[in-house]
Amino acid sequence: MSRSGVSVSRVVAADESTFAPLWVASRVAAGQTSDWAWRAVAAGRIREALRRQDVRIYVAAVGGEQVGFVVVTHSPLSGLSEDTAAWIDQIWVEPAHRRTGIAQELLRMVARYAEFAGANQLISCVPTQEKETNRYFARLGFTPAVTSRTTTPGALRRRLAGDEQESLSDLVVRRRRSLRARAARVGLARGTGV
């Protein structure tokens, strides 16, 4: 138990049913539906994470009530690196309990876990649009290291295939843009101001 009255403990398989409502609340806050989140729980999302050796979930409680959690993993920093890193995959505190030291207590546990796992780097995975969370981690000394960009495998294949594999809809869109640009140039040349 910390000085602030917050207790942080590891979530184990026996805790799945008591942890699930907190995780569902975090997913709803992130924009998913409650139905989707509960289906994920029923499909074993939490159960599978708890079985993995490289995943730890820690929950913070105040007066016996769970109010926040952090999901941390450990793995090599890159595929060819021997250096281990601890990755803060998710951290969430119920809105009513924010700015009360809950996140700090969770992060203290993350630091202890990282040292236990032999990680010499701590990495937080924070979506770019979450400005407040990014500022919070910056105040704690986390610095930008990489820019992660995402796409789907199908979109990458289409881009790599080039013009010969361009889809019909892509061709139509490109043709319309070209025609609009020509019409605008012709209109400007004639002084119509289009």
Q: Are residues 143 and 158 in the same domain?
A: no
Structural domain including 11 reads: 6-150
Q: Tell me, what's the pLDDT at 40?
A: 96
Q: Tell me, what's the pLDDT at 191?
A: 54
Asked if the structure places residue 104 within a domain, the reply is yes
Q: Are residues 144 and 158 in the same domain?
A: no
Tokens of 101: 């030291």
The total number of structural domains in the chain stands at 2
Asked if the structure places residue 1 within a domain, the reply is no
Torsion of CA 11, 15, 20, 22, to 10 degrees: -60
Q: Are residues 51 and 33 in the same domain?
A: yes
Q: Tell me, what's the pLDDT at 194?
A: 45
Asked if the structure places residue 106 within a domain, the reply is yes
Asked if the structure places residue 37 within a domain, the reply is yes
Task: Please state, in angstroms and rounded to a whole number, the distance separating the CA atoms of residues 177 and 188.
Answer: 16
Asked if the structure places residue 163 within a domain, the reply is yes
For the chain, residues with pLDDT lower than 50 are 1-3, 192-194
Residue 73, Cβ density class (10 Å: 0-12 exposed, 13-18 middle, ≥19 buried): buried
